[in-house]
Amino acid sequence: MKSIILAAGQGSRMKSDTPKPLLKIGGKPMLRHVIDALKATFPMDAEDINVVYSQVGIAVKKAAYEDVIYSEQETPKGTGDAVRAAIESHPVSGDDVLILYGDVPLITPETINGLVAAKKDADLALLSVCLDDPNGYGRIIRNDNGNVVGIVEQKDANEQQKIIDEVNTGIMLVSGSKLTEWVSALNNDNAQKEYYLTDIVEMAARDGKVACYITEDEDEVAGANDRVQMAELEAAYQERKIMSAMMNGLAVVDPTRVDIRGELTFGRNCEVDINVIFEGNVVLGDNVKVGPGSILTNCVIEDGTTIHPYTLIKDSTIGRTTIVGAFARINKGDRLPS
């Protein structure tokens, strides 16, 4: 298995000097979320994950993730051209290739595995979702037998096609040899004068069977083109993290007013009040209480400790059965004994 992650988007509507794939959700760049989801699904070496960046987004390569390789799309000419650049830089052959996006950070291993299972003997499997408002998305075109025969982009769709609510997420799994063949045959005869990767779906349908896996989770296939959508992704991510923690026993007064921006590990009978932020790697022992407005960053809080409101703890360890007073500031390297 190999993967191509398209991360060449400029993100001009973000009004940011940081390339869109490096903007953070849950304290971690969106691109890193995608890479981590891949690695949680398959055992993949650096040469198996190819990140495509543009010259405008050179900072994507400068992020220097050592567990991937990079390809440059010299001129933005569409998703098909981006995949072509990846293949020219690092050819694929007999492997299946999973195409993901650096600004779609909530994809899960479960959905990736569902796509893999759906592909079976097909040369291409795409991931779709049904939306109440499909405006702006490419529509999935099926024949009378329900088989996928193509994708039409919003700007190229007629009025009848615009009614279709099943849309393309852009995520697909393709046989490497076929991907190389189909991408080389792409043209830019469309309204945008771009090379659409989605055009290979029609090619695949002509050559054989196109498989499709429909996800019911809109959030995990959602991207972000502006700050409003970034906030929506952040809210969806936090809901996922907090609900998972609560289902595993963490007592949270109000799950909409707690942020986990990293990894939180906790024992039994832990309680978290409102407006608490966890950053980096935080470990709570058993019977820990965290008061409102506190920020805990890369720290260990041992059993039986109570943290009173508006406390900041960073890069430190708090010993067992300690009471940390309100508005305390505990800095890097400090250790409060039991």
Which amino acid is located at 312 in the chain? Answer: L
Please check the confidence at residue 317 and state whether its pLDDT lies above 90: yes
Bridge-partner residues for 276, per DSSP? 258
Q: How far is CA 110 from the centre of its chain?
A: 13
Looking at residue 175, what is its pLDDT?
A: 96
For residue 229, is it within any domain? Answer: no
Using CA atoms, how far residue 9 sits from 100, 170, 228, 271, in Å, is: 13, 14, 17, 41
319: Cα separation from own chain's centroid: 36
**Residues 108, 32: one domain?**
yes
Smallest CA-to-CA distance from 242 within 252, 234, 232 is with: 252
Number of structural domains the chain divides into: 2
| The pLDDT of residue 138 is above 90 | yes
142 vs 151: CA distance, rounded Å: 9
In this model, does residue 338 exceed pLDDT 70? no
pLDDT, one tens digit per residue, over 206-261 is 998 899 999 999 999 999 999 999 999 999 999 999 999 999 999 999 999 999 99
Using one digit for the tens of pLDDT, what is the confidence trace for 292-313? 999 999 999 999 999 999 999 9
Judge if 99 and 167 occupy the same domain.
yes
232 domain-assigned: no
Q: Please give the share of the chain, as a percent, with pLDDT higher than 90.
A: 84
Q: What residues make up the domain containing 69?
A: 2-221
Residue 184 three-state SS: helix
Q: Is the dihedral of CA 111, 112, 115, 116 positive or negative?
A: negative
Q: Do residue 207 and residue 259 come from a single domain? A: no
Lowest mean pLDDT among 155-164, 244-253, 268-277: 155-164
- Asked whether residue 283 falls in the same domain as residue 155, the answer is no
| 335 strand-pairing partners | 317
What are residue 239's phi and psi, to 5 degrees? -60, -45
Tell me: do 178 and 128 sit in the same domain: yes
Tell me the CATH number at 208.
3.90.550.10
User: Do 192 and 256 belong to one domain?
Assistant: no
Final residue belonging to a domain, choices 204, 221, 238: 221
Residues 126 and 35 in one domain: yes
Residues 261 and 188 in one domain: no
201 in a structural domain? yes
Q: What is the pLDDT of residues 185-207, one digit of tens each?
A: 999 998 889 999 999 999 999 99
For residue 231, tell me if it sits in a domain: no
Q: Is residue 230 part of a domain?
A: no
Residues 214 and 269 both lie in one domain: no
Note the pLDDT tens digit of each residue in 80-124.
Answer: 999 999 999 999 988 999 999 999 999 999 999 999 999 998 999
Report the pLDDT value the prediction gives residue 337, as an integer from 0 to 100. Answer: 72
Q: Is the pLDDT of residue 336 over 80?
A: no
Indicate whether 333 pLDDT > 80: no
Q: Do 201 and 80 fall within a single domain?
A: yes
If one compares 153 and 118, the residue with the highest pLDDT of the two is 118
> Is 200 a domain residue?
yes
For 71, which DSSP code?
Answer: E
Q: Is 142 considered catalytic here? A: no
Q: Has residue 243 been placed in a domain?
A: no
Cβ contacts of 48 within 8 Å, gap of 6 or more: 1, 2, 3, 42
120 shares a domain with 19: yes
pTM exceeds 0.75, yes or no: yes
- Does 226 map to a domain? no
Q: What percent of the chain has pLDDT over 70?
A: 99
Residues 253 and 193 in one domain: no
More confident residue, 57 or 3: 3
Average pLDDT, the chain: 94
- What's the CATH number where 281 sits? 2.160.10.10
Question: Considering only CA atoms, which of 182, 191, 18 is closest in space to residue 103?
Answer: 18
